Structure 1
Amino acid sequence: MADKEATVYIVDVARSMGSTAMAAPSRTSNGQCSRKTATVGVVALRSDDTSNELQEDSNFSNISVLANLGQVLMPDIRRFRDLIKPSQTNRGDAISSIVVAIQMISKYCKKLKYKREIVLVTNGNGLMPTDGIDEIKSKLQDDGIKLTILGADFDDADYGVKEEDKDPRKAENELVLRDLAEGSPNGAYGTLEQAVAELEIPRIKVTKSMPSYKGFLQLGDASKYETAFRIPVERYFRTYVAKPPSASSFVLRSGAAPGQEEGDLAQSQVPGEGNTLTSVRTSRTYQITDESALGGKVDVERDDLAKGYEYGRTAVHISQEDENVTTLETFAGLELIGFIINDQTLEANLPVQYSRYLHMSNTNFIIPQKANDKAALALSSFIRALHELDYYAVARLVTKETRPPMIVLLAPCIEKEDDEVYESLIEVQLPFAEDVRSYRFPPLDKVVTVSGKIVTEHRNLPSDSLQEAMSNYVDSMELDLKDDDNNPIDGLPIEESYSPLLHRLESAVRWRAVHPNDPVLEPAERLTRFAHPDEDIVKKSQSYLDALKSAADVKKVPPKTKGRKRQRETEKPLSGLDVDALLNLEPKRARISPENAVPEFKQMLSRAESVETIHDAVKQMAVIIEAQVKHSLGDANYERVVESLGTMREELVDYEEPALYNDLVRQLKEKILNEELGGDRLELWWLVRKSKLGLIDQNVSERSEVSEEEAKEVSLNPIWSVAKNS
């Protein structure tokens, strides 16, 4: 469970601020996490009116609380954009606004455990009384409130910003604010320019790990043997895949006005905000063939269905009573079953060693039970023994009762940080015997002929000159970067290699939430810096790349010539005989068999003497494809349909007849959407889109009348199209 947070943003809206930092609250990620425990409050400093709990005191005038502490949703962020605008006054006290924020946090959090923070965005102008500064710093320390101050044109020596001809009053105010920020716990002070520049740095979400196993690490059965031992331990994630936020499907609620915004997801979740969207619900029906029923099929309930397992092409039914017998009865536990040597110890003469490619999962920590000194001492002894002998332990792990057992590897881990020593076992899942697949590949340095002869010089083997050229090119691409003082630097720091998928999607969602009608910005440079090699390294290695191309005899392959089959002459055999005439073939009367459709379709096109023959072949294939879809048991015939469509697309492009294929695809999609081919076949259209077998546009064939935009529109997700049209 994540820690509770309470953050108050104070935004200076004075006339002198202009448009500076007006979107500061919208740039935070508090609204995107959607946690109810991440609360946010917003205060406007030097506003036209006054609205706060301390407004009876004249020192707190021109301070307005725009939002008390609470969860921030998308409508709130958009409301802040409308409210946070330059006012018509420069009156107001930044120190007093901090007092108001402290009052808001104290009232909301009380004595509960919260991460408390105040963020002040101002230009530092105006009167700023220093009375009571020491009391404010003491209150910040006592309540554990972090104060972050971001100033427009503030001097910051660390960032290299200094304003020339600064107003003396502003310079004095900056010193007061810096002293106040540094007097708070982990306080921060800096120029707004640095804060805006750091917006491109992805924010790494720190999650609080929960134990995935609490039990005993044991050797032997303690209930039977006195020599057995048990150590209370806990298991936590050490590495875990960070996944981007998932999308949800929504449609326009029936009865909503056409002009209402469709992309506003939050409006469908907040009462009173105009619920224009509704979630998509899936409904499934099951049918069986019944010749006596209307339409030849009858609906059945899901409870009447039986579960079957595939055995070859046969469905084998196992009743629930019999299936319970096959369930392995297990009990939670971590039992040691053996020890193996580390594969780095080459002098060891043991039959079993370990290799890193056997990893099957993310890694976990095994640590002693919290607040148990006896368990910590016992596990420390076990870890030290494994470390000194360079051994790994193999154990059987069952995290919860009736869960399938896993075979795991336990490796000792001893890390030193400052004066502290951290000991633990790193656990990773190992494969069972059935999980190991042994594949044999031909050697890369020799060719073995059918007769068993070994050939070391062959056209498929690299020559010595090619290997040397490749080796030199690889060496030239080493990330041996150096700074101005010729000192080596890390060209790929792991702490700066952010996930482009995760952070790009998060930044796009955050931008679109605040700017619903603006295009999404380009990805930040920090996300794309590792997508391309360093320019200096590319220039340095260019000569080695040219040498590699020369040694490998690399030549540019000419583009494939399309749409010329009708102009080609039929290839004649060396004998000069007309094979079709000898076999008495009549291509005009040819029929395509459903059992051998693809080869016979190609043969029919190769013998076509007129366009009518091509049209006839396409019509026959259309009938065959529709029959395959209609009589397919589930997705049994989907691969055959995709293969047929791929062959037709390629052949009709070469024969310069894209219109025939496009008409076929349009008809097929329409029948799939209308469920005229044996029920719900939307999965088939998804496979067609995935295989890129949509319409032939003008980029593929010059004779096509379909534009690229029209081809993309037809290939859109049919579920989306149906929902939109409805």
Structure 2
Amino acid sequence: MDMLIKKYKDLHKGKKRLCLITNAIHPIKDSFEGSKEDQVMTIAEQMAAQGMKIESIVVRGRLSRDANKGVMDENDHLLSIFSKKTRTRIVYVDTPTSLLGALKTRRVTPVTVFRGHLELSPQMKIKVWVYKKTQEEKFPTLKKYSEKAAASNKLATHQVKVSYEYKSVDGSSTSVIPPEQRIKGYRYGPQVVPISTAEWDAVKFKPEKGIKVLGFTDASKIKRHCYMKDVYLFIAEPGNTRATLAVSAIARAMKEMNAVAILRCVWRQGQQNVVVGVLTPNISQNYKIPDSFYFNVLPFAEDVREYQFPSFNSFPASWQPNDQQQKAADELVQMLDLAPSGKEALLPEFTPNPVL
């Protein structure tokens, strides 16, 4: 806790989190000043003032006969003080496997990517909201680390900052050229053509914000391996009964005809790239939840690279695997299964990565 306070001070308030993993079956030493409860109360108040959260994970499997019930009750009482004074979550787990699900990933509040009309034709538009259904969570990137700071300096960040300076190439001046005297240049053969910001903005592609239906096609013509990036969720504007009925009618008609829609999407005004994708109906099984659509981004023709691999039958007989080699390869693939017993123990929904 002291390390977090010295490292971040008043920064990242509410994002500092401690994780305590213990079995809480051993006695705690008496404090020199005050009782154990007073010490825990002081620590909890300090954590609340610094905006810290703590997650207490108590791992208790089969207890031995030597386990003291009174000590465990006292420890549980001390941990409960944190939950009363700070934002604390106490989780009791019985097995190491269930410990994996005790560390929860951070919750992200859903934010709309688009609010506007789904245009089927110039005369027919439906008000929709678009959210991200799935999003790739990336690991923290590695950063440069500097060792120039003294080892005794505990407040050193060891960060490496990069700055650029522009000078004249002819050597006539050694002074740094300020940003207002610089202009971007693009190579055209052996020459460099300067283009100012105003000229670049004049020729830049600026599509208008909106979603348009380009057409409908059979669902079998869109292959799932062509789906790119994240999945989006289209819902009718909340509280708009006419939009909800329109979305439901179109979704059920598309489901009945096994059809999907091809859309052209520009999420924001001034967005330079245009997204083309497929809209798939999502029929709700709960009458309280309205029907919706799933949207997947499709690649352009220039983005598709099809690699044709030659057949193994075209190789010489000496390169072909024999029965023993083929059996060993098959057994290797089968051993890669995470659930050989028939029950998957590491479900992604219940096995979050604590780094993320």
Structure number with greater CO (CA < 8 Å, separation at least 6) is 2
How far apart, CA to CA, are the structure 1 residues paired with 2:159 and 2:238?
44
**1:307 paired to 2:184:** yes
Which of 274, 278, 302 lines up with 1:434 in the alignment? 302
Which of 444, 449, 462 lines up with 2:311 in the alignment? 444
Q: Which has the larger radius of gyration?
A: 1
Task: Identify if the C-alpha distance between structure 1 residues 260 and 482 changes in structure 2 by more than 3 Å, giving closer, same or farther.
Answer: closer
Alignment-derived partner of residue 50 in structure 2: 71
How far apart, CA to CA, are the structure 2 residues paired with 1:283 and 1:62?
48
Contact kept in structure 2, 1:368 and 1:379, CA below 8 Å: yes
- Secondary structure at the aligned position of 2:291 is classed as strand
Contact kept in structure 2, 1:233 and 1:367, CA below 8 Å: yes
Which of 337, 343, 355 lines up with 1:489 in the alignment? 343
Which of 167, 171, 178 lines up with 1:287 in the alignment? 167
Alignment-derived partner of residue 33 in structure 2: 49
The structure carrying a bigger strand percent of its residues is: 2
- Give the residue type in structure 2 aligned to 1:423: D
- Give the residue type in structure 1 aligned to 2:311: L
| Residues 58-94 of structure 1: per-residue CA shift (max 9 Å, x gap) | xx86764121513368xxxxxxxxxxxxxxxxxxxxx
Task: Identify if the C-alpha distance between structure 1 residues 62 and 237 changes in structure 2 by more than 3 Å, giving closer, same or farther.
Answer: closer
**What does 1:70-469 correspond to in 2, within 5 Å?**
70-71=49-50, 150=58, 159=61, 161-164=62-65, 173=73, 190=92, 198=99, 203-221=104-122, 228-249=123-144, 258-261=150-153, 264=154, 267=155, 276-277=156-157, 279-290=159-170, 293=172, 300-311=177-188, 315-343=192-220, 353-404=221-272, 405-414=274-283, 416=285, 423-437=291-305, 441=308, 443-444=310-311, 458-459=315-316, 463=320, 466=321
Q: How far off its partner does 1:438 sit? A: 5.5
How far apart, CA to CA, are the structure 1 residues paired with 2:64 and 2:290?
48
| Residues 502-555 of structure 1: per-residue CA shift (max 9 Å, x gap) | x5xx49xxxxxxxxxxxxxxxxxxxxxxxxxxxxxxxxxxxxxxxxxxxxxxxx
How far apart, CA to CA, are the structure 1 residues paired with 2:309 and 2:57?
65
The structure carrying a bigger helix percent of its residues is: 1
Count of residues in correspondence between the two structures: 328
Contact kept in structure 1, 2:209 and 2:268, CA below 8 Å: yes
Task: Identify if the C-alpha distance between structure 1 residues 358 and 467 changes in structure 2 by more than 3 Å, giving closer, same or farther.
Answer: farther
Contact kept in structure 2, 1:40 and 1:71, CA below 8 Å: no
Alignment-derived partner of residue 37 in structure 1: 14
Alignment-derived partner of residue 25 in structure 2: none
Contact kept in structure 1, 2:17 and 2:54, CA below 8 Å: no
Q: How far off its partner does 1:399 sit? A: 0.9
CA RMSD of aligned residues (A): 4.8
Task: Identify if the C-alpha distance between structure 1 residues 287 and 170 changes in structure 2 by more than 3 Å, giving closer, same or farther.
Answer: closer
| Structure 2: gaps of 5 or more residues | 19-27
Contact kept in structure 2, 1:39 and 1:69, CA below 8 Å: no
How far apart, CA to CA, are the structure 2 residues paired with 1:382 and 1:149?
48
TM-score (norm 1): 0.38
How far apart, CA to CA, are the structure 2 residues paired with 1:310 and 1:428?
37
| Structure 1: gaps of 5 or more residues | 1-22, 53-59, 74-116, 120-147, 222-227, 268-275, 344-352, 447-455, 508-726
Q: How far off its partner does 1:245 sit? A: 2.8
> Percent of counterpart pairs with the same letter?
20
- Secondary structure at the aligned position of 2:110 is classed as coil
Contact kept in structure 2, 1:50 and 1:64, CA below 8 Å: no
How far apart, CA to CA, are the structure 1 residues paired with 2:351 and 2:157?
38
TM-score (norm 2): 0.69
